Amino acid sequence: MSAPSRGTARRRLAVPLGAVMLFTLVACPPGPPATEPAAEPPAAPAARAEPAPPAADTTAPAAPAPTARTVRICAGGDVLLGNNLDTLWATRAAARLGRDVPAFPDLDSLLSPLSRLLSGADIVLLNLEGAIGEGPAPRKCRPGSTRCYAFRQPIAAAAALRRAAGDAVLVANLANNHAMDAGYAGFDGTLSHLGEAGALVTGADTLATPIVTPAGDTVAVLGFSPFLAGPDPRDLSAVRRHVARAFARYGRVIVSMHVGAEGSGAQRTPNRTEIFLGEDRGNSVAIARAAVESGAALVIGHGPHVLRAAEWRGAALTFYSLGNLLTYGPFNMREPSNIGGVACASIDAAGRVSDAEFRSTYQLPPGLVRFDPAARGAFLVDSLGRLDFPESAGRVLADGSVVRSRSSISDSLLDARSSMDNIR
């Protein structure tokens, strides 16, 4: 959705889901040393000196060095919990759906499906698609505009999101085209409300946000966008510099990027600059690879409002777009825009992704998120990966695992054919 750009101010049946669909269509250390004993005075000439007993070691044993653990991150795409800058959308949605649509529903009930989707996470990373606050705000959109949207969620959204993350650390990405929808004061208010709720923020500046997990491990998160909020990822040298600095200090780095064109025509991931509504939305492939080459273990994309492919680069993993996770408000709920997912990945002590998983979701109007047992999102990510990154795609298996082994894919195809034969 339009906003001013800088230019203008992780078995059950290990089968790739794309393969299942294909066959369906065809066939139907120690402590410090002891202190030195005090020197004995010289022996008297007429007496034989007895050796002094060894001095007692009064030093405490050294504490064992801490051992870094694998950290589990679960990330989602866009999140919006209502819009108090324009509530007419609820009236229009009620007329369209033939039932009452509250502009501001009970937020804990709205968010409750996420508890299953975010289970097992040490860190939860979400893209906050709008400001948080109340009261008057400067106008963002020109009168009569049909391609401009201004989003601001109620203050209660901050604490509700924090509760939805459970025991995990919640990180909200603000590097996007809607964090500034209530102006600079609104942006500052958003930072304040999230902080007061116990959430952390990334994307407010060029410095990585250090995230200390409940177990005591540290992961750094950097948010980028080509808009007013967040460091600009179109400057690839700056991306490399910021990520390398975070990697040198923290060892494990996650990058969040809000880039790319929008809508149903933007499901493919081109290795070129994308222009949308006349705005330079960046080259997401170049940005992600620059981040990975500089030390990022995991890159999470969003912005297109649709799912895109996943790609492995060595032991690093990029999800180019996680689409819409929970967007309660004036959003398009037609496929593919209502299909999303949660990406979970484990990052080991060496800063490598050791396993990853994709958990599919869908939304019902006007923005009610549900777990998708049909796994349409996983199928899309798998299929788009085969199209856009045939040699490096993140392939999604039937259990949701995201893998890169070509041999396991071949074996899975044989398993799929056998399974289909058994069904027939």
Domain-located, residue 16:
no
Q: Is residue 213 part of a domain?
A: yes
In a domain, 127, yes or no: yes
| Residue 257 parent element (H or E) | strand 253-258
- Full domain range(s) for residue 141: 68-411
Taken as a whole, the chain contains a residue count of 424
Q: Tell me the residue type at 89.
A: W
- Residue 347 CB neighbours (<10 A): 29
**CA distance linking residue 265 with residue 315, whole number of Å:** 30
Q: What is the pLDDT of residue 407?
A: 38
Question: Could you tell me if residue 26 is inside a domain?
Answer: no
Q: Is the pTM of this model over 0.75?
A: yes
How many whole angstroms separate alpha carbon 212 and alpha carbon 400?
A: 27
Q: Is residue 37 in a domain?
A: no
Residue 155: Cβ within 10 Å count: 19
> What string of DSSP letters covers 35-80?
PPPPPPPPPPTTSPPPPPPPPP--PPPPPPPP----EEEEEEEEEE
pLDDT value of residue 305: 98
Q: In this predicted structure, what is the pLDDT of residue 67?
A: 60
Number of domains in the chain: 1
Q: Tokens 């990585």, residue?
A: 208
Grouped pLDDT means (10 residues each) for the chain, 424 residues: 51 44 37 39 44 48 61 98 96 96 97 97 98 96 88 98 98 97 97 98 96 94 95 98 98 98 97 97 98 98 98 98 97 96 97 97 98 98 97 96 68 40 40
Asked if residue 131 lies in contact with residue 190, where contact means CB atoms within 8 angstroms, the answer is: yes
In a domain, 260, yes or no: yes
For position 12, what pLDDT does the model report? 37
Residue 2 lies inside a defined structural domain of this protein:
no
Give the span between the Cα atoms of 306 and 338, in whole angstroms: 8
Distance from C-alpha of 157 to C-alpha of 186, rounded to nearest angstrom: 14
Would 266 be classed as within a structural domain? Answer: yes
CATH number at residue 105: 3.60.21.10
